[in-house]
């Protein structure tokens, strides 16, 4: 009897263990999700400190959706977390054509994000998506990445002065017809420390007395006074 009781107890334990395993259900299955990531506004050149807008589009599967964004600097083994900022935006469920040009429609998740490169370099930005179907224990997993280069900002040229050009001179006369002076119209150009000039103001008016061939004029920008010369031929 003792041996029979032990055998029965062993059978009960084995059945309980097997039953417990069955109660846990099937192991979760993982399938591929199709994720398409793109920069929404293409700009020819992006400089450090500027941002690019991103959009991840994923065909809906399952009953839940989660997206995680990440980035890294390509060609660098250092931690990239302080070289850029990644701000997650909204996720919306929208109805779109199943394929480009197709009349068949489907539901898609559209997730938005904004990435700013704080340091010059090429960055890889990734959107990783997980969707789950609760009852079937299936997970749909996918990701996509884009590369974006951020160039070093161009140095801002410093203003060094002004120069007057393109003079148009007209005489002023008294009732007797004698010259009393000259009205001078000119274009005023700003000069910079990189050797370039830029039109600051056109058709500026000035005057010269009868005996003056030239004189100094001035303009004040941000509290700094700049002097330039106007003249007549």
Structure confidence by residue, pLDDT tens digits, 114-139: 999 999 999 999 999 999 987 778 99
Token pair listed for 192: 């910079």
How far apart CA 133 and CA 140 sit, in angstroms, is 8
pLDDT of the residue at 27: 59
Tens of pLDDT, residues 22-76: 445 555 689 999 999 999 988 889 999 999 999 999 999 989 999 999 999 999 8
pTM: 0.59
Give CA torsion, residues 15, 16, 18, 23, to 10 deg: 140
| Closest alpha carbon to 74 in 154, 152, 145 | 145
How far apart CA 182 and CA 209 sit, in angstroms, is 6
Q: 184 near 230, Cβ under 8 Å?
A: yes
């Amino acid at each position: 009897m003792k041996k029979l009781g032990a055998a029965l107890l062993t059978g009960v334990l084995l059945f309980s263990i097997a039953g417990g395993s069955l109660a846990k259900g099937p192991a979760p299955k993982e399938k591929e999700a199709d994720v398409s990531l793109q920069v929404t506004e293409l700009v020819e050149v992006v400089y450090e400190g500027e941002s690019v807008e991103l959009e991840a589009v994923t065909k809906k599967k399952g009953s839940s959706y989660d997206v995680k964004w990440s980035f890294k600097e390509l060609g660098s083994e250092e931690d990239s977390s302080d070289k850029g900022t990644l701000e997650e935006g909204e996720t919306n469920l929208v109805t779109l054509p199943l394929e480009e040009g197709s009349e068949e429609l489907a539901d898609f998740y559209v997730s938005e994000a904004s990435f700013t490169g704080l340091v010059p370099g090429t960055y890889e930005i990734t959107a990783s998506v997980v969707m789950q179907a609760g009852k079937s224990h299936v997970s749909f997993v996918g990701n996509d990445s884009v590369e974006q280069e951020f160039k070093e900002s161009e140095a801002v040229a410093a203003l060094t002065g002004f120069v007057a050009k393109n003079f148009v001179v007209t005489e002023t006369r008294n009732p007797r017809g004698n010259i009393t002076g000259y009205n001078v119209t000119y274009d005023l150009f700003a000069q910079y420390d990189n050797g370039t000039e830029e039109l600051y103001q056109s058709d500026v008016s000035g005057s010269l007395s009868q005996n003056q061939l030239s004189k100094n004029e001035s303009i004040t920008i941000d509290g700094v006074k700049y002097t330039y010369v106007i003249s007549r031929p």
